[in-house]
Amino acid sequence: MDSNVNVLVVSAHAADFVWRAGGAIAKYVKHGANVSLVVLSYGVRGESNDLWNVPGQTVDNVKAVRRSELEQAAQHLGVKDIELWDFEDYHMQITEERMDRLTKKIREVKPHHIISHGPKDAFNPDHEMVSDYVFRASVLSTSNGVQLEGYPTAKQARLFGFEPHQSEISDFKPDVILDITEVYAQKEAAMNCFKAQQHLIDYYGAKAKLRGNHARRCSGNNEYKYAEAFSRFFPYVGGELV
């Protein structure tokens, strides 16, 4: 694995990066890549159902809980460069200022890989919105004519999409199945930081095994135990058949 890469992960809500790319993050960190994480919102309105069952719950408290959970999870994955942009969720709005902000972030990180939500998520409009947001900002980031003082243009990154929760009805096709066996314990530890969402811990644990099964079947390599699936926004381009 090439250790000399920059990776930018953009997560719509507090926990998306853990369920959907925790293994990829841990693996890239482990092999020396520079991984930057942007969490756009705490998911207060749309992804904190369990917390709102507590009587007297407040927005500030939900944010504090989600922040604490996600920071612990990030620690398990080894990612240190984290930004929390605290957008309101459900439904997220993208202004011009926010577009510029992400464009600058991309120009700053100069990512080889950007990992975020894929274009369709049948039950989650925020995820679709973020997918479009990341794609558009990546287009702006490479364009000479988009002049942002102090932020010279970046080279085109590879864009990867998370697997959505209900893959088939979200038209998800796995383009890349990434072996995460060597870091799966870290992903498990990170998932366990979201105690109130035991059903998701179970779900994504089972998912990692299923994708591991697919990885073995497609490759004939029986050492793959756990895997994560991603879509690709554009074709793979390079010097080998992969």
Least gap, CB of 80 to a copy of itself (angstroms): 20
Least gap, CB of 193 to a copy of itself (angstroms): 19
CB 124 within 8 A of CB 111: no
Q: Is residue 8 involved in binding a copy of itself (CB under 8 A)?
A: no
d(CA 186, CA 176): 21
Q: Which of 61, 68, 143, 198 binds a copy of itself (CB under 8 A)?
A: 143
Site for a copy of itself in 86-105 (CB under 8 A): 90-91, 99
Site for a copy of itself in 21-40 (CB under 8 A): 24, 27
Q: Which of 173, 185, 195, 198 binds a copy of itself (CB under 8 A)?
A: 173
Q: Is residue 125 involved in binding a copy of itself (CB under 8 A)?
A: yes
Q: Which of 61, 68, 166, 198 binds a copy of itself (CB under 8 A)?
A: 166
Alpha-carbon distance values, 46 to 15, 20, 126 (Å): 12, 17, 9
Strands 227-232, 176-179: pairing kind: antiparallel
Is there a cis peptide before residue 91, judged by omega within 30 degrees of 0?
A: yes
Q: Which of 142, 188, 189, 192 binds a copy of itself (CB under 8 A)?
A: 142
Q: Is residue 174 involved in binding a copy of itself (CB under 8 A)?
A: yes
The pairs formed by 124-127 with CB atoms below 8 angstroms and a separation of 24 or more are: 124/12, 124/46, 124/164, 124/165, 125/91, 126/12, 126/13, 126/41, 126/46, 126/89, 126/90, 126/91, 126/92, 127/12, 127/16, 127/162, 127/164
Q: Is residue 235 involved in binding a copy of itself (CB under 8 A)?
A: yes
Q: By rule CB under 8 A, what count of residues binds a copy of itself?
A: 81
The interface region with a copy of itself, picked from 74-82, 169-177, 186-194 by CB under 8 A, is: 169-177
Q: Which is nearer to a copy of itself, 149 or 240 (CB)?
A: 240
In a 13 Å sphere around the CA of 29, the CA atoms on its Cβ side amount to 22
One-letter amino acid identity for 91? H
